[in-house]
Chain A
Amino acid sequence: MLYVVIAFLYLSILFYLLFGGADFGAGIIELFSRGSLKERTRLLTYQAIGPIWEANHMWLIITIVILFVGFPEIYTLASVYLHIPLSLLLIGIIARGTAFIFRHYDAVKDHFQKIYNLIFVYSSFMTPFFLGILAGTAISGRIDPDATDFVSAYIHPWLGWFPLSVGLFTVVICGFLAAVFLIGEANNNEDRDLFREKAFRMNILTVITGGLVFLVGEWEGIRLFTELVNHPIGLLALVLATVSLPITWYLLKKKKVYWPRVLVGFQITMILVTLMVSQHPDFIILKNSTISLQNAAAGESTIFALAMALLIGGLFILPALFYLIYSFQKQPVSIKKSNQH
């Protein structure tokens, strides 16, 4: 049963990264676009993400619930030592969610829209950035439960080059994901070409920032790369992700829509798998010790109940969610129509 819970934990992290990531990425693309593309991205974001974005957000809640029910030691440890970045992540989530809904549901379209847009694009950057920082901190061994002063206990763990580089990498992969996703959502060829160009640029940035994560990691003594090449599955995942990149480029050049999406999703899944297996069995690496999901799991009765709740929930959620995505993909709502609501 523990493995059911662990599977759901990784699944919800992955889905948050994929669906939520595309969602954040749309805001990031908007942030780095100028002129009419900014406006068009905005409309497309709403059209493409509007119907499912509430659900995208839920994966984070599932992740948190699994952590605090099933792995309370990990949840409380993170809550104490990562209080500040978690708070900043939260502020990003609030700002983004509310700005998104405000700008689309405000009955009067006036100068307030500018404020909503500003909040939306900056929080779209901020949220995955801190998400990445949190992930980076978790595997960096920078958390020190024996620290006694404020800075080394609550600031030093997350404010370092390695967590920051992971944060930046997370932002960029969200942007990449969104650019590829939006190609298929665009209504005309001109827009499609623009998003294709964005996708290429974001992809170059992905490779650069991804490399940066490894370099900084090696430099700071976090043996990410060494551990990776020593692990057959990690290495395989990394190789597969890398090999699928030129295929993605080729298909993008050929103006394909569907397969690049699948491949980008695949690449992100592989990145997560790489990270996961290279750390296995650890989940959080502290300064002098490590915590694995197996060791930090709650008692058997709790894990059993949690697994049942997740299985039953999954039975309802997954088909409904896929039907939702399917029905809005099959018959895209036109921009004009969606503006009426």
Chain B
Amino acid sequence: MDDLLAARSQMALSLGFHIIFACIGMIMPFLMAISHYKYLKSGKEKYKTLTKAWSKGVAIFFVTGAVSGTMLSFELGLLWPEFMKHAGPIFGMPFSLEGTAFFIEAIALGFFLYGWEKFRPWFHWFTGVVVGVSGLASGILVVAANAWMNSPAGFDYVNGEYLNIDPMAAMFNDAWFTQSLHMILAAFVATCFAVAGIHAWMMTKGKNTDIHKAALKISLTLGAVAAILQPLSGDLSAKDVAERQPAKLAAMEAHFETEEAASLIIGGIPDEENETVNYAIKIPGALSFLAHGDFSAEVIGLDQIPKGEHPPVTITHFAFQIMVGCGMVLMITGIFWLFGLWKNKKYIYSSKFLGLIALLTPLGFIAVEAGWFVTEVGRQPWILYGIMKTKDAVTPMPGIVYSFLLYAAIYISLAGIVTLLLIRQIKNLDKNQDLSLPSNS
């Protein structure tokens, strides 16, 4: 493993890890606030228990998200100093605002977690809402910064120099809106379905169904709505990518040759050597429609992109397929849930349906990770699209492979501990409520 690959792997690992914790830390406050609202309105104890249980989840994930985010802010420099030297002053605006949003979130979390029976109930509830809103704002801002790497703006690049810097124009680059929208919805889908999955699983075991049912209703309803909205945002993103980064779209679709009325490729195994895709289902004209809103429009293929600037096609294509596939499954499940809830159908609480939801727990996060692969791998070999290549940004310090191994060990153990902690939380939720259970379970 050379230093560049090690640095890329370390960054991918850090981001891949951070994104899960950040999503949960960003979305769970909303679940918590809804449950809290229901408690304040109805006075039912089950909502209070649920709010407190979820708030512990928020605390754990907020901290893991915060430390892994801190690591990223260092790693940007530790691994990509050449990039940061130029990029920092240009795309720093969203980061400095994100610092503020994140700070407010941390303060509000302090108020919320320690404020039970200390502040007036609605003020206390409000601090919980602030946690959610500021978390969402920091998510949007960080993605806006990433969007700038895909869609550089706010400066003139003249003879290797970065001139006429305009931080506001850099922040509001062409990709910020579609990327942020897609990410935020993905965070809602992934987190809500994961939370719902855990509670559904507990329901199949027949413990404390009251609390778990309340939890399921809140999380799955929110998740289902987000899952239905997600394809719309996906469509916006696809059109945007087709416009700005044709190489990325071509890699996503394994679209090797420029053509009019291009077909949409579903599944299949790309053969990068011979520039073909085997075993795929092809829908004629559909890619042209998705990319440009016109069945006969021309879609640029990889043949129009210089060889040295091709993103890795196979990874990008597979990642894209996985993302879309997972999203579809979640959306269909969501529709069934909403329909069942609306028509008061029995099937939504049947053990089979609950089992299915439990099975879908990791799916949203698989989609999120796959989506990041599409965005990041699809941008390669560029770190700053069209301007700076990743290999020119890496640190001159040798031995990054050891750093990668060390961080990998840390992340793996952290992931292990957090999982263990969650299992213990969930078990404890049942222990507290179900008195018939032996206390040492």
Please give the number of chain A residues whose Cβ is less than 8 angstroms from any Cβ of chain B in the complex.
64
The answer for the CA separation of A207 and B220 in the assembled complex, in Å, is 59
Is the CB of B102 closer than 8 A to any CB of chain A? yes
Interface pair B89/A333, CB less than 8 Å apart: no
Is the CB of A328 closer than 8 A to any CB of chain B? yes
Please give the distance in Å from B97's CB to the nearest CB on chain A: 5
Please give the distance in Å from A14's CB to the nearest CB on chain B: 16
CB within 8 Å for A316 and B89 given contacts A51-B110, A102-B417: no
The answer for the CA separation of A63 and B68 in the assembled complex, in Å, is 17
Interface pair B114/A64, CB less than 8 Å apart: no
Interface pair A313/B100, CB less than 8 Å apart: yes
Interface pair B78/A87, CB less than 8 Å apart: yes
Is the CB of B34 closer than 8 A to any CB of chain A? no
Interface pair B421/A106, CB less than 8 Å apart: yes
Is the CB of B244 closer than 8 A to any CB of chain A? no
- Name A's interface SS: helix
Interface pair B66/A57, CB less than 8 Å apart: yes
Q: Which residues of A contact B165 (CB under 8 A)?
A: 298-299, 301-302
Interface pair A328/B114, CB less than 8 Å apart: yes
The answer for the CA separation of A58 and B118 in the assembled complex, in Å, is 24
The answer for the CA separation of A306 and B102 in the assembled complex, in Å, is 16
From B77, B95, B167, give the contact of A76 (CB < 8 A): B77
CB within 8 Å for A55 and B74 given contacts A98-B67, A302-B92, A309-B93: no
CB within 8 Å for A101 and B59 given contacts A57-B106, A341-B114: yes
| Interface bin, chain B | 35 or more
Please give the distance in Å from A201's CB to the nearest CB on chain B: 31
Q: Which residues of chain B in 384-412 are interfacial with respect to chain A, using CB atoms and an 8 Å cutoff?
A: 395-399, 403, 406, 410
Nearest CB in chain A to that of B166: its residue: A301
- Name B's interface SS: helix
Q: Which residues of B contact A191 (CB under 8 A)?
A: none
Q: Pick the most buried of B67, B77, B93: most chain A CB atoms within 10 A of its CB.
A: B77
Is the CB of A93 closer than 8 A to any CB of chain B? yes
Please give the distance in Å from A301's CB to the nearest CB on chain B: 5
Q: Which residues of B contact A306 (CB under 8 A)?
A: 92-93, 96, 167
Nearest CB in chain A to that of B432: its residue: A107
The answer for the CA separation of A244 and B243 in the assembled complex, in Å, is 65
The answer for the CA separation of A180 and B246 in the assembled complex, in Å, is 61
Q: Which residues of A contact B396 (CB under 8 A)?
A: 80
From A61, A100, A301, A331, give the contact of B70 (CB < 8 A): A61
From A90, A153, A309, give the contact of B71 (CB < 8 A): A90
From B76, B97, B107, B117, give the contact of A68 (CB < 8 A): B76
Q: Which residues of A contact B55 (CB under 8 A)?
A: 341
Interface pair A54/B109, CB less than 8 Å apart: yes
Q: Which residues of B contact A298 (CB under 8 A)?
A: 88-89, 92, 165
From A93, A312, A324, give the contact of B107 (CB < 8 A): A324
Is the CB of A70 closer than 8 A to any CB of chain B? yes
The answer for the CA separation of A87 and B71 in the assembled complex, in Å, is 9
Please give the distance in Å from A20's CB to the nearest CB on chain B: 12
Q: Which residues of A contact B81 (CB under 8 A)?
A: 76, 79-80
Interface pair A80/B397, CB less than 8 Å apart: yes
The answer for the CA separation of A58 and B89 in the assembled complex, in Å, is 21
Is the CB of A240 closer than 8 A to any CB of chain B? no
CB within 8 Å for A58 and B167 given contacts A68-B84, A102-B417, A313-B96: no
CB within 8 Å for A94 and B410 given contacts A309-B97, A309-B100, A310-B96: yes
The answer for the CA separation of A90 and B108 in the assembled complex, in Å, is 25
Is the CB of B64 closer than 8 A to any CB of chain A? yes
Q: Which residues of A contact B428 (CB under 8 A)?
A: 107-108
Is the CB of A154 closer than 8 A to any CB of chain B? yes
From B76, B99, B399, B406, give the contact of A58 (CB < 8 A): B99
Interface pair A324/B77, CB less than 8 Å apart: no
Q: Pick the most buried of A70, A153, A310, A341: most chain B CB atoms within 10 A of its CB.
A: A341
Is the CB of B188 closer than 8 A to any CB of chain A? no
Q: Which residues of A contact B113 (CB under 8 A)?
A: 50-51, 341
Interface pair B77/A87, CB less than 8 Å apart: no
CB within 8 Å for A54 and B66 given contacts A91-B410, A106-B421, A333-B118: yes
| A75-B77, A309-B97 given; 9 more Cβ-contact pairs under 8 Å | A62-B103, A64-B73, A87-B78, A299-B89, A305-B96, A310-B96, A313-B100, A320-B108, A324-B107
Question: A: which residues have CB within 8 A of B?
Answer: 50-52, 54-55, 57-58, 60-62, 64-66, 68-70, 72-73, 75-76, 78-80, 83, 86-87, 90-91, 93-94, 97-98, 100-102, 105-108, 150, 153-154, 298-299, 301-302, 305-306, 309-310, 312-313, 316-317, 320-321, 324, 327-328, 331, 333, 337-338, 341
Enumerate 28 A-B pairs (CB-CB under 8 Å) in ascending A order: A50-B110, A58-B99, A61-B103, A62-B103, A65-B92, A66-B96, A68-B92, A68-B95, A72-B85, A80-B397, A86-B74, A94-B68, A94-B71, A98-B414, A102-B60, A105-B421, A106-B424, A107-B421, A107-B429, A108-B428, A298-B89, A305-B96, A313-B99, A320-B104, A321-B107, A324-B111, A333-B114, A338-B114
8 residue pairs, one from A and one from B, having the closest CB atoms: A69-B92, A79-B77, A313-B100, A107-B428, A298-B89, A54-B106, A72-B88, A305-B167
